[in-house]
Structure 1
Amino acid sequence: MPIYFFWGEDSFARDRAVKALQTKALDPDWASFNLDKLSTDQPDAILQALNQAMTPPFGLGDRFVWLVDSSIAQRCGEDLLAELERTLPAIPATTTFVMTSASKPDGRLKSTKLLQKYAEIQEFSPIPPWKTDHLAQQLRKLAQELDLKLTQRAVDYLVEAVGNQTRQLHSELEKIRLLAGTTQQPLDVDEIAPIVTASNQNSLKLFAAIRQGQTTTALELVADLLRQNEPGLRIVSTLTGQFRQRLWIKLMLESGERDDRTIAQAADLGNPKQLYFLRQEVVRTPLQAWERALPLCLELEFSLKRGGDEIAVLQTKVIELCELFRG
């Protein structure tokens, strides 16, 4: 009775996990008979999925049922709950039943408690862009899956260049694997940099220009990022993470804290050695500038989510941010 509920906004990582289960469960020659993928856009999709989950596989291999965009853990009527209570415990061992959702399960619902009892629940949310040590761990794991060897400098470069975008990260690692060929030597940053699309790195350059009050440079970088089809919300995510990290460091220093490990922990800084350089960035800038920057980033995010014109909103808020750090 393998039942899974995968949730989170990182759809690429979530769907990769589903595909791995699918490969394990299905016999390739009988996959077309035993694979059922249903979307909740279809009428009675949940009931169809439960019925298919109870159906024995045809031929070799197991049956695989995937219910996409499931709302079971957000809302569930009494009739559907009764069907879940009847069916989930009875799903045969020859069926792998997977439900996916972008939304977090509501722990107050009876349906969620039922899933907690019978299903393996796993979260697939993007790693915050400022948690560079966690991003590096994720990168090393993916590289290991691809049998790809990278130096620490190459790992650091990719984390900075790609950020928390798992889809792009996987694409970049696939390109690097082709570059590596049959070599067993770890690839260094000088070898991989020419083929990596460093959209996140450009966002970091934008942050650096804002921090130095360079309005013209910052606006040029905004234009470059949008020409590269970089989503506005992704740019904001990088900026928010960088401002948040510097604000924590500045607050800790202003409070009299001098222990590097304590400051690094408060700022979610994976490598305390980076703190030396970040100190230099924040020491000459008043605390008020860092405090006012975060609300501006939140206003920018809110405007974009409300459907504001991406170019106009980004340009306006970038100018306001630059004003904070000018002079």
Structure 2
Amino acid sequence: MPVHVYWGDDTTALEHAVTDLARKVLDPAWESFNLQRLDGQQGDGATLALTTVRMAPFGGGGRLVHVASSPFCERCPPELLAALTTALPRIPHNCHLLLTSVNKPDGRLKSTKLLSNVATVKSFLQPAVWDRQGQRQMVQRAARAAGVTMEPAAEAALAEAVGSDSGRLAGELEKLDLYSDGNTVTAEAVAALVGTTSQTGLQVGEALLHNRIPTALHLLDELLRTNEPALRIQASLVSQVRGWLWVSLMTAAGEKDAQAIAKAAGFGNPKRVYVLLRQVRGCPPKRLQQLLTALLELEWSLKQGTPPGQAFREHLLPLAQVRHSG
């Protein structure tokens, strides 16, 4: 049955998969007639999709109905479940229903069980910032998909440089392929073309966590010299600190279940909780709250036009004094 369920937080890889499916299903000459994109969270989008996908395609090729932010595997009310049950057996062989979502399908739902029996289910998960092996595998998959051949050392260097950022990975692979003129990409090519902003950014966060403010500022200067946007650095640091703060607050409140902490913090992988727990050991929630406040004030300063180097120093240097006096 032509039903597909794609889910995961690696939106770049997921969108590539959606594009690939569209190429296989649709006749380019009839694409505007046979491709429907609906928002499953808006109005009757989900119900409309179940009606549309049962209509024969126009002209050549097939029909593709894509429901983004699909509700079918997350919170499917009885009336929507009934409509899904009725529609699935009646979908023509040349019509495809594609359901996409960031969240993992809830296996407890009747709708999820129904779909799992008939649909092609694929996951697209970004590796965690601490998952080096997962990041290396992400590089390997992306390189294969792009038709780019890489030396093992080049794979490792690129994984270290981009971390879990699949969007940046796609751009870097394109540059490396052009630079190498279709030949095998070497570690030297990666060193010449790709910065190491991902891992350096993580090091900045860890330095701030442990109150090594001079080290953090030095690393920030390196990032700025490589033309890394200051607001992107700030957003990455906010994401790190928020994760630490969630784990710190919940464990301080007595929560020990990693699954519960991961769900509350919005982590896709509960294993990440154990890593963050080790990182924040000995760091009180108050310290993390002060750090998060400083980073949010830093964002305002950058958006007001303060030079990045000056803004980072003005908002991060006082943290060392707070820690010392506390």
Matches within 5 A, 1:85-164: 85-164=85-164
Percent identity over the alignment is 31
SS at match of 2:107: coil
Letter in 2 for 1:95: C
Name the CA distance, whole Å, in 2 between partners of 1:301 and 1:23.
47
SS at match of 1:14: helix
What is aligned with 1:192? 190
8 Å CA contact 1:128, 1:241 repeated in 2:
no
CA RMSD of aligned residues (A): 3.8
8 Å CA contact 1:69, 1:100 repeated in 2:
yes
Cα offsets for 1:196-220 (capped at 9, x unmatched): 2432032144257559964223135
The TM-score with structure 2 as length reference comes to: 0.71
Offset at 1:138? Answer: 1.8
Offset at 1:52? Answer: 1.2
Pick the aligned partner of 2:199 from 198, 201, 218.
201
Name the CA distance, whole Å, in 2 between partners of 1:179 and 1:33.
39
Offset at 1:159? Answer: 1.1
SS at match of 2:76: coil
Distance 1:120 1:190, change over 3 A: same
Name the CA distance, whole Å, in 1 between partners of 2:287 and 2:102.
24
What is aligned with 1:218? 216
8 Å CA contact 1:30, 1:61 repeated in 2:
yes
Offset at 1:69? Answer: 1.1
Structure 1, 57-66 or 129-138: larger mean CA deviation: 129-138
Distance 1:111 1:296, change over 3 A: farther
Name the CA distance, whole Å, in 2 between partners of 1:152 and 1:25.
35
Matches within 5 A, 1:248-267: none
Letter in 2 for 1:203: G
What is aligned with 1:229? 231
Cα offsets for 1:284-304 (capped at 9, x unmatched): xxxx98722596897589879
- In structure 2, stretches of 5+ residues that fail to align are 245-270, 273-277, 301-311
Letter in 2 for 1:229: L
8 Å CA contact 2:5, 2:121 repeated in 1:
yes
The TM-score with structure 1 as length reference comes to: 0.71
Offset at 1:238? Answer: 6.6
Cα offsets for 1:79-132 (capped at 9, x unmatched): 211111100122121111101111222222222222222222222221112221
Aligned residues: 278
Distance 1:237 1:152, change over 3 A: farther
8 Å CA contact 1:203, 1:239 repeated in 2:
no
Name the CA distance, whole Å, in 2 between partners of 1:300 and 1:89.
56
What is aligned with 1:72? 72
Name the CA distance, whole Å, in 2 between partners of 1:230 and 1:161.
15
SS at match of 1:59: coil
8 Å CA contact 1:146, 1:177 repeated in 2:
no
- In structure 1, stretches of 5+ residues that fail to align are 243-266, 269-287
Name the CA distance, whole Å, in 1 between partners of 2:74 and 2:16.
23
8 Å CA contact 1:180, 1:187 repeated in 2:
yes
